[in-house]
């Protein structure tokens, strides 16, 4: 990439392309960039979890690192109050609900977008879990900085990376 800066290390307002593999405490791989493009994000904008952003700061292109992120610096602790039981007929009858499936919904009062997971299915109701699926987990990352460049003014004002395929 022609915009790459020789000798640069990860600092605020830089676009970082990060190869990563995420494992849980027991070694299970829950996410990886292997086989696809690295994750591109702007350092210092809160685009990624705080514990990972902090650990990547100062790395150079080609550097690799193991990073352990505690829940408080990851997706937070699981909140036992973040469960809600809703009537089965709140969902279309033809919709097949399975345990663990993710649902996107909108808060009726605030219009805020919410992600929930089906935690249980009962005869007439569905138990939804509004915790992030990785809440309460200690995260084990293997990361490698694949590329670095300065973010454009437009990217900084939007707070996210624009790819070559198009801007938004």
Residue ranges binding Zn ion (CB under 5 A): 158, 168
Spatial distance between the Cα atoms of 66 and 27, rounded to a whole number of angstroms: 13
Cβ closest to Zn ion, residue 93 vs residue 157: 157
Cβ distance 125 to 85 under 8 Å?
yes
Cβ closest to Zn ion, residue 124 vs residue 154: 154
Cβ closest to Zn ion, residue 14 vs residue 128: 14
Q: Which two tokens stand for residue 153?
A: 């003014």
CB of 154 to Zn ion, least distance (A): 7
CB of 2 to Zn ion, least distance (A): 21
Residues 6+ apart with CB under 8 A from 36: none
CB of 155 to Zn ion, least distance (A): 7
CB of 161 to Zn ion, least distance (A): 8
- What is the pairing mode between strands 139-150 and 102-106? unpaired
Neighbours of 22 (CB within 10 A): 21
User: Would residue 91 be called left, alpha or beta, if left means φ above 0 and alpha means ψ between -120 and 50 degrees?
Assistant: beta
Cβ distance 108 to 40 under 8 Å?
no
Cβ closest to Zn ion, residue 120 vs residue 159: 159
Q: Which residue has the tokens 């004002």?
A: 157
Cβ distance 63 to 146 under 8 Å?
no
Cβ closest to Zn ion, residue 34 vs residue 37: 37
By beta carbon distance, the residue nearest Zn ion is 158
CB of 16 to Zn ion, least distance (A): 17
Q: Which residue has the tokens 């915009």?
A: 3
């Amino acid at each position: 990439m022609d915009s790459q800066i020789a000798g640069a290390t990860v600092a605020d307002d830089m676009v970082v392309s990060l190869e990563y593999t995420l494992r849980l405490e027991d070694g299970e791989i829950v996410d990886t960039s292997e086989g696809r493009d690295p994750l591109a994000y702007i350092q210092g904008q809160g685009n990624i979890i705080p514990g990972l952003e902090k650990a990547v700061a100062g790395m150079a292109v080609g550097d690799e690192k193991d990073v352990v992120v505690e829940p408080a610096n990851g997706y937070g602790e699981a909140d036992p109050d973040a469960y809600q039981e809703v009537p089965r007929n709140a969902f279309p009858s033809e919709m097949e609900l399975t345990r663990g499936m993710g649902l996107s919904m909108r808060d009726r009062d605030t219009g805020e977008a919410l992600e929930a997971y089906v935690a249980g299915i009962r005869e007439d109701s569905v138990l939804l879990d509004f915790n992030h699926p990785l809440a309460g987990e200690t995260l084990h990352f293997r990361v490698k900085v694949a590329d670095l460049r300065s973010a454009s003014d437009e990217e900084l004002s939007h707070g996210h990376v624009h790819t070559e395929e198009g801007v938004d």
